[in-house]
Amino acid sequence: MSNENPNVALKELRQRLNQVDDDIVRFLAKRLETVGLIAKEKAGSTQAIRDPEREREVLTRVETLAQSLGLSAPLARKIFSEIISYSVSRQVASLAGGEGAATEVAVAYQGSPLTYNNLAAEQYVASQGWGGRFVGLPTLKQVIDSLASGAVDIAFLPIENTVAGSINQVYDVLREQDLHIVGEESYRVELCLAATADVPAAALRRILSHPLALDQCSAFVAALPQARAEPFLDTREAMRAVADAKDPTLAAIGTPEAAAAHELHILNRNVGNQDEILMRYVALARSPVSVDVRVPCKTSLILSTRHEKGALLSCLHILAEYGLSMTKLESRPRPNRPWEYMFFIDFEGNVAQERTALALDALRSEALYLKILGCYSARATPAEAQSTTLPEAVEAAPVEASSAAPPAGRPTPSAPRASKHYRLADRATHPEDTVIRVGSLLIGGTGFVVIAGPCSVESEDQINRTALFVREQGAHILRGGVFKPRTGPYAFQGLGRDGLDLLAAAGKAAGLPIITEVMTIDQVHLVAEKADILQIGARNMQNFPLLSAVGKVDRPVLLKRGLSSTIEEWLAAAEYILAQGNGQVILCERGIRTFESATRNTLDLSAVVVLRERTHLPIVVDPSHGTGKRLYVAPMAWAARACGAHGVSIEVHPDPDKALSDGDQSLDFPGFKSLMEGLSRVRV
Ligand code: PEP
Ligand code: MN
């Protein structure tokens, strides 16, 4: 090499480097080609995609080779971990049929291009072998709306960070929305400090970044007393602001890609509180996906527990009993329920496997509310947990399915499943009475609850006076219809939303929880937000889409018996709600159609004793609709208590003769007072 012409030598060396780089890329492509052949080989067998033993072997081999060549072993490990992880995801994608299908997906994320969110979304889409169109939007709500409206196929959201913890807003979205987790990604967050000039960190006065990124670098920032952290819209905009200001005392924290885009100097490549910071993302879609049983898979769900000691523990115990390993447990407050919590659980398991399906059944009967958020191919899993996914996948092979015996005392594949239309409602599945909690009130078990109020909410004065009176007499829950199922279209149809507000205000003033009827699916969310219990009327007992809709919300449901429904049909209807994950069903006997015309309906009190035997769900009796006549209401309420009902529902009106609906069967105030006095004398 000649000293006279250093530029020529440098050029030559760089060319040599380029060739090596090209070779590296070619070798990577060749490796991937071989991975594709392996995937084809595996496709015809039941062999699990992930083989932790083999992965360990590969890593050890390359580490040893690196060391013998004077290279850094940790560097070799890091690079090959990435390569293996990518190879596995390509194999998974090929099993899902993604390979070669040239799928194009539109993906929404929060923020600007070249932010962590954007780069992680790109990494996820590439790992699936898809092409992507990426849409950065300013707010989380816009991201969700664009998915819900069909503008994009996937909403890609950060859910937790190894330094900053969980991102609560995303958990709330998962609870509220009917969206599904279809994938996850683990993204290595490189927190780069960048400025317009190569200045020492001590010269910096202001450091701009997204609040979440600042959280993750709190130690670094705190060590610079002269510098002030400034929250910014996103990390990319922070970089742009630093570049635009051209002030060398200003720096931003963000991705190296964004720093490069704005031609900033990277002062430090890792200012995070930990050496390695990972962000876990979830991909949400409008419909769920099914995952091949050979692929390591996770299932995410939300549950609220029964009002019992050790309730959460028994749910977790079910996962353990079925050999499902839990990877995450997070609690969030239940909306409008101070100091009550819902639990978000991730575990390794695939809903397509019998073992997982049985565990979910057991969980449904143990929990009061359960919603499956998604079942998806796992990417963010602690290293040592991977080995447990292998036996699970193998177990799914058809020959072995029958030998996968469920734990003692838990449902077996063939047990109550076959003949009956209901099994979650069946007392055989859950021998103890279900007790439903509404605020501080318990419904079911040994208690007796009185629901009282007008047939319809008619005016502020009417509902307020009734609320205060029934409360004074010892009623526990205020009723009042606002969406009314009337036999004829010209009859009073209820006050709708305005009525709901009046009912909610009256309940609040009297200190009573409220119940009201929902007639259509689009009323469910509106009513669930304001009412403590949703009522499904007799005419809708077999409106299956409506039952499924109330099964998806975390609110107790009072299911009235259909006008001509058998007890079996009624329990099957309850099962529709339970099967969606809402275990908070109260059955309400309200009389059935018979040849008898002396009463409006025939109140079937024998249903109470039959139900007490067949189901664990609470049972309430409505003698107002059951008889249709004021005079008969109190005696039948007393009889209901005597035969083992868990409560009654009574129509009360300040002036029944002027009532806009069901005046004949409504009690006036003195009538309700004497009903209550009689009830307290009933011995059970
Ligand atoms: C009601 O409770 O107001 C009502 C309409 O009842 P049902 O659905 O039992 O007729
Ligand atoms: Mn009525």
For residue 591, which atom of ligand 1 is closest to its CA? 9
Report the b/e string of 527-545 with b at 16+ CB within 10 A: bbebbbbbbbbbebbebee
Q: What value does the mean pLDDT take over residues 643-661?
A: 98
CA of 415 to the centre of ligand 2 (A): 41
CA 496–ligand 2 middle distance (angstroms): 15
Quote the CA–CA distance of 132 and 35 in Å, as a whole number.
23
190: number of Cβ within 10 Å: 18
- Between the CA of 580 and the centroid of ligand 1 the distance, in Å, is 24
What local confidence, expressed as pLDDT, does residue 410 receive?
Answer: 59
Q: Is the CB of 616 under 6 A from ligand 1?
A: no
How many whole angstroms from 275 Cα to the centroid of ligand 1? 63
pLDDT class of 385 with cuts at 50, 70, 90? very low
Give the separation between CA 272 and CA 671, rounded to whole angstroms.
71
Q: In percent, how much of the chain has pLDDT > 90?
A: 77
User: Average pLDDT of 561-589?
Assistant: 97
Mean pLDDT to the nearest integer, 386-404: 32
Sign of CA dihedral 503, 505, 509, 512: positive
DSSP 329-387: EEEEEPTT-TT-EEEEEEEE--TTSHHHHHHHHHHHHHSSEEEEEEEEE--S--GGGHH
To test ligand 1's pocket by mutation, which of 458, 479, 546, 622 has the most ligand atoms within 8 angstroms of CB? Answer: 622
Span 509-536, average pLDDT: 97
pLDDT the model gives residue 36: 85
Residue whose CA is closest, atom 4 of ligand 1? 537
Ligand 1 pocket, residue 538 CB under 6 Å: yes
pLDDT of residue 69: 93
CA separation for the pair 489, 170 (Å, rounded): 43
Pairwise CA distance, residues 349 & 10, whole Å: 55
Convert 560-600 into a string of H (helix), E (strand) and C (coil). Answer: ECCCCCCHHHHHHHHHHHHHCCECCEEEEECCECCCCCCCC
The mean pLDDT value for 187-194 works out to 96
pLDDT beyond 90 at 50: no
The mean pLDDT of the chain is: 90
C-alpha 659 – ligand 1 centre gap (Å): 15
Nearest CA to ligand 1 atom 9: 538
Let me know: does 478 contact 467? Beta carbons within 8 Å: yes
Give the span between the Cα atoms of 558 and 610, in whole angstroms. Answer: 18
- Ligand 1 proximity of 600 Cβ (cutoff 6 Å): no
User: Which residues lie at CB < 5 A from ion ligand 2?
Assistant: 455, 662
How many angstroms is it from 671 CA to the middle of ligand 2?
17
| Any atom of ligand 1 within 6 Å of the Cβ of 138 | no
- Using 50, 70 and 90 to split pLDDT, how confident is the model at 417? very low
Among protein residues, the one whose CA lies closest to atom 8 of ligand 1: 537
User: How far is C-alpha 437 from the chain's CA centre?
Assistant: 21
What ligand is nearest to the CA atom of residue 592?
1
Taking the centre of ligand 2 as the mean of its atom positions, its distance from the CA of residue 195, in whole angstroms, is 71
Which two structure tokens, joined as six digits, stand for 672?
């309700």
Burial (0-12, 13-18, 19+ Cβ within 10 Å), 152: buried
Read off the pLDDT band of 8 (50, 70, 90): confident
Exposure of 244 by Cβ count < 10 A (0-12 exposed, 13-18 middle, 19+ buried)?
exposed
**E strands along 454-525, which residues?**
477-479, 514-517
How far CA 292 is from CA of 19, 43, 351, 393, 506, in Å, comes to 40, 10, 10, 9, 53
pTM for the whole structure: 0.76
**Which ligand has the nearest atom to the CA of 628?**
2
CA 61 to mean position of chain CA atoms: 42
pLDDT score of 389: 30
Q: What is the pLDDT of residue 241?
A: 97
Q: Which ligand is nearest to the CA of 543?
A: 1
Q: Is the CB of 481 under 6 A from ligand 1?
A: yes
Q: Select, from the ranges 1-10, 384-393, 451-460, the one with the highest average predicted confidence (pLDDT).
A: 451-460
Ligand 1 within 6 A of CB of 560: yes
pLDDT band at 453 (very low <50, low <70, confident <90, very high): very high
Looking from the CA of residue 624, the nearest atom of ligand 1 is 2
For residue 170, pLDDT over 50 is answered with yes
Least confident of 164-168, 575-579, 646-650: 164-168
Whether pLDDT at 225 is above 80 = yes
Distance 284 CA to ligand 2 centre (A): 42
The closest alpha carbon to 237, from 215, 211, 218, 216, belongs to 211
pLDDT at 403 (0 to 100): 35
Residues 76-109: pLDDT tens digits? 998 998 898 888 888 877 776 654 556 899 999 9
Q: Give the per-residue pLDDT at 553.
A: 94
Q: Indicate the residue type of 165.
A: G
Q: Which ligand is nearest to the CA of 651?
A: 2
Half-sphere exposure of 561 (CA within 13 A, CB side): 30
* Nearest one of 403, 404, 429 to 415, comparing CA atoms: 429
Give the number of the atom of ligand 1 that is nearest the alpha carbon of residue 540.
Answer: 8
Closest ligand 1 atom to residue 455 Cα is 3
- Name 106's bridge partners: 133
- State whether the beta carbon of 625 lies less than 6 angstroms from ligand 1: yes
Determine if ligand 1 sits within 6 Å of the CB of residue 593.
Answer: no
Q: Which two tokens stand for residue 143?
A: 């991201």
Q: Which of 478, 487, 517, 664 to mutate to test the pocket of ligand 1 (most atoms within 8 A of CB)?
A: 517
> Which atom in ligand 1 lies closest to the alpha carbon of residue 649?
2
HEC assignment per residue over 618-678: CEEECHHHHHCCHHHHHHHHHHHHHCCCCEEEEEECCCHHHCCCCHHHCECHHHHHHHHHH
**Four-residue CA torsion sign, 74, 77, 80, 84:** negative
Checking DSSP bridges between strand 647-651 and strand 449-453, what pairing results, if any? parallel
Please tell me the distance between residue 474's alpha carbon and the centre of ligand 2 in angstroms: 21
Q: What is the pLDDT of residue 394?
A: 31
User: What does the pLDDT read at residue 406?
Assistant: 53
- Residue 228, strand partner residues: 206
Ligand nearest the Cα of residue 538 is 1
Q: Which residues contact 443 (CB under 8 A, 6 or more apart)?
A: 435, 436, 437, 449, 556, 586, 618, 620, 646, 647
SS3 516: strand
Write the CA distances from 217 to 202, 237, 329, integer angstroms. 16, 18, 25
**In whole angstroms, how large is the CA radius of gyration of the chain?**
31
pLDDT-based confidence at residue 408 (cuts at 50, 70, 90)? low
Residue 435 is predicted with a pLDDT of 93
> Cα separations (Å) of 28 from 25, 33, 660?
5, 9, 77
How far apart are the CA of 138 and the centre of ligand 2, in A?
48
Ligand that lies nearest to the alpha carbon of residue 662, given by its number in the listed order: 2
**pLDDT of 181 above 80:** yes
Residue 3: the pLDDT is 54
Instruction: Give 190 Cα–ligand 1 centroid separation in angstroms.
Output: 60
C-alpha of residue 441 to centroid of ligand 2, in Å:
24
Look at the block and give the residue holding tokens 């079910």.
318
Of the candidate ranges 232-246, 329-343, 438-452, 618-632, the one whose mean pLDDT is the lowest: 329-343
The bound ligand whose nearest atom lies closest to the alpha carbon of 485 is 1
3-state secondary structure of 605: coil
Higher pLDDT pick, 483 / 4? 483
The predicted structure's pLDDT at residue 399: 30
- The DSSP result for 197-254, as a single string, is S---GGG--EEEE-HHHHHHTHHHHHT-TT-EEEE-S-HHHHHHHHHHHT-TTEEEEE
Mean pLDDT throughout 454-481?
Answer: 98
Determine if ligand 1 sits within 6 Å of the CB of residue 561. no
By alpha-carbon position, which residue is closest to atom 6 of ligand 1?
537
Residue 35 has pLDDT above 50, yes or no: yes
Ligand at shortest distance from the CA of 480: 1
Q: What is the pLDDT of residue 53?
A: 84
For residue 268, give the nearest of 366, 191, 361 by alpha carbon. 191
Q: What integer is the mean pLDDT of 235-247? A: 96
- pLDDT (0 to 100) of residue 415: 46
What is the 516 CA–ligand 2 centroid distance (Å)?
Answer: 11
Between the CA of 661 and the centroid of ligand 2 the distance, in Å, is: 6
> What's the gap in Å between 87 CA and the centre of ligand 1?
60
